[in-house]
Structure 1
């Protein structure tokens, strides 16, 4: 009851008063603070409750044959949710709550799952973890801009333009003839994802797989210099 009354107040007024919430829910403030710790705890609980419907639909959705289709649908549903629930969205992504809602962690996990599937198909040029951070940052940045400065973005096509630009920097399909360094990163990303998605290959021990993963990670993020620290003695010889 407390979360429902707080959610209604947030949607109506754009903010929450613990006193007003208690009056609407028919409880005393000590009860509220005993349940949620403080106002930040209540706000985090409200954000998680509002986001639950959105995330539950994503949890229940079956993967399609094309993870890029799923990724694109996720981008658009994220923006749509932000516009439909501006106050809860800004609480999650536009404030520094001392109590972090669990919704942000789950949203990132669901996004990363789609990118891992792309990596398994050899279609991602960087690691799924890094790609998820980039996509989430771009998606939330765009959504907050639409909420806070709508007059600066009158054309709704800005969402699709932003999405296309971000995906172009991440997807192999957008770079049919990658440079050698990029090709190595793509191959390493694909192999790491394939190994992570399958059972441990019988030909490798757990220690060997850890070492292999470390080597592949270096191909994903090549050094800025052509000289590797371990090669210095060879050039001096």
Structure 2
């Protein structure tokens, strides 16, 4: 954990104190009283800056997620978008195993309010990775389904691993789940093995924002048609 300073007022100090409490005792340890004492501020300051405890937890999660990415993101984007998806999966699972309390707050908030802002940012990164695969012509299913499969399988794998004591975890579970999903959504070559409307629709839909000759209405209509082709059955006769 990187300790922050008071250069920007008490907010960084409060977030840092709450993050330490989270790592040591989980979300239940992050009470307003405990954070106030650890950060050396009064409770009203926390409410003024974050609104409520959930607002504070969201700030802690966002800070922790950004810090983790800054520590781990040393690999530049490669020419192989599928390899980059593999790296993104491993980074995702690594966050879960190294900082389980933080990860659980990202994807399984105790208030039932859905994903945290940090989780939604991570989802956007995943969508961008899948978009690159689609543009390369290597996606065998519609983008939305591919993103959903990777996201649901990845978070499910991570939360399942967190729930098991480290010494009893299946060390190959994450790799097996990753490769199963990648096999389900991608092709082995830059083009579909049997060119047809499905592959063409997926690739064109992914690159549609680069088409400048259409009006907004025409682009929206074409996107609707392409989504329908990419999501529907394709005749093999």
Q: Normalised by the shorter chain, which TM-score bucket?
A: 0.7 to 0.9
Superposition RMSD in Å: 2.7
Q: Distance in 2 between matches of 1:4 and 1:103?
A: 16
Q: Is the 8 A contact 1:122 1:186 kept in 2?
A: yes
Out of 202, 206, 209, the residue aligned to residue 193 of structure 1 is 206
State which drifts further: 98-107 or 23-32: 98-107
Matched length? 219
Name the residue aligned to 1:129: 144
Would the alpha carbon gap of residues 48 and 160 (structure 1) be closer, same or farther in structure 2, given more than 3 Å must change?
same
Residue 214 of structure 1 corresponds to which residue in structure 2? Answer: 224
**Whole-Å Cα distance in 1 between the matches of residues 180 and 76 of structure 2?**
27
After TM superposition, the score normalised by the length of structure 2 is: 0.82
Residue from 137, 142, 160 that aligns with 2:175: 160
Tell me whether 1:94 sits opposite 2:108 in the alignment: yes
Aligned residues of 2:109 and 2:115 also touching (Cα < 8 A): no
1:14 maps to 2:26: yes
Distance 1:92 1:23 in 2: 25
Larger Rg: 1
For structure 2, list consecutive stretches of 5 or more residues without a partner in the other structure: 1-12
Shift of 1:83: 0.6
| Distance (Å, rounded) in 2 between the aligned partners of 1:190 and 1:75 | 22
Q: Which runs of 5+ in 1 are unaligned?
A: 227-237
CA distance in 2, matches of 1:217, 1:159: 31
Counterpart among 31, 38, 50 of residue 36 in structure 1 = 50
1:181-211 Cα shifts (integer Å, max 9, x gaps): xx43222111111222x241x3x33332222
Cα deviation, 1:126-178, whole Å, max 9, x if unaligned, reads 23233122211111110100001247963211111101111111112399756
Shift of 1:70: 0.6
Task: Name the residue aligned to 2:122.
Answer: 107
In the superposition, relative to structure 1, how do residues 116 and 55 fare at CA in structure 2: closer, same or farther (>3 Å)?
A: same
Of residues 204-213 and 134-143 in structure 1, the stretch that sits farther from structure 2 once superposed is 204-213
Partners of 2:18 and 2:225 lie apart in 1 by 50
